[in-house]
Amino acid sequence: MEKRLLPANIVEQVKGVFKEMEGKVTALFFKTDRRCDYCKTGEQLLKELAEINEKLSYEVHDIDSERARQFEIEVAPSIILLTADGDDKGVRFLGIPAGHEFGTLLQNIVSFSKGAKPDLSEESLKKIGAIDSPVDIKVFVTTTCPYCPKAVLMAHNIAMANKNIKAYMVEANEFEELSKKYGVSSVPQIVINDKVTFVGAYPEGQFVEQVLNAL
């Protein structure tokens, strides 16, 4: 028997979280046959999650595939979530959401099963909704960082609020070159449009201001 990633007690907890799921969710998993230390693990993780609740399914694609070009995915492993209607809400994971980021993936899955409605204040929704140019938010994390899930969830909720926004969780150890390029040595480090950079899990109002500063 293959070795399971998720321990039995975690599977039980995930079952509880997934009880909240309403509609179907599809996770697109992008891998490569070239060097990829974590591709097998990522695929295994989605497989085990999909076994827990039938509302979650997953597809595996190569980063050289048409599907990858469609979603502008160039690195592996990557995960994109789609709603029951097949809507891409700009929510992306580069690297495996393990450790403390596991909860982020689960919350996003539940949220997508309910149509991926952003959990933001009306004021933030108004400000983010008005953005009419592309925004790229990268949140660099390590899976051992207790403060990082808050920053990733915030970025993902902001992406859900506007079609022009894409928000990436980037696992800094898996994507070392990208981390070096952006000089990451503390997490969470947030980079917006390669223009605004800050370190730390800002509260909602301040995070939204930083997005507006990057326009």
Partner 1 sequence: MEFFDVGSAKKTDIKDRYDVIIIGGGPGGITAAIYAVQAGLKPLIIEKALDGGQMNNTQAVENWSGFSSISGMDLSEKMADHARAFDVPFAYNEVVDVELEGQEKAVILDNGKKLNSRVLIISTGSNPRDLGAKGEEQFKGKGISYCATCDGHFFADKHIAVIGGGNSALDESLYLSKMVRKITVVQNLAKLTADKLLQDKLNATGKVEYIYNSVVDSVEGDSQLSAISIRNVDSGNITRLPVEGMFVFIGLIPNSGFLKGKLKLNDFGYVPTDENMETEIEGIYAVGDVREKEVRQIVTAAADGAIAIYHAARSYFDE
- Residue 78 or 179: which CB sits closer to partner 1? 179
Q: Is 6 in the site for partner 1 (CB under 8 A)?
A: yes
CA nearest 168: which of 85, 103, 72?
72
Cα–Cα distances (Å) from 1 to 4, 62, 108, in that order, read: 9, 26, 30
Number of other residues whose CB lies within 10 A of the CB of residue 129? 14
Of residues 175 through 204, those in contact with partner 1 by CB under 8 A are 179, 183-187, 189, 199, 201, 203-204
Pick from 147, 181, 194, 213: which binds partner 1 (CB under 8 A)? 147
Residues paired with 25 in a beta bridge: 56
Site string for partner 1, 88-127 (x = CB under 8 A): --------x-xxx-xxx-xx--x--------xxxxxx---
Site string for partner 1, 39-78 (x = CB under 8 A): --x---x---------------------------------
Sheet strands side by side (includes 88-94):
56-62, 25-31, 78-82, 88-94, 165-171, 135-141, 189-192, 196-199
45: CB partners within 8 A, 6+ apart: 5, 6, 96, 98
Residues paired with 190 in a beta bridge: 139, 198
Rounded to an integer, what is the distance from CA 40 to the centroid of its chain?
Answer: 18
Q: Minimum CB separation from partner 1 for residue 50, in Å?
A: 15
Pick from 31, 92, 150, 166: which binds partner 1 (CB under 8 A)? 150
Binding site for partner 1 (CB under 8 A): 5-7, 10, 13-14, 16-17, 41, 45, 96, 98-100, 102-104, 106-107, 110, 119-124, 142-150, 153, 172-173, 179, 183-187, 189, 199, 201, 203-205
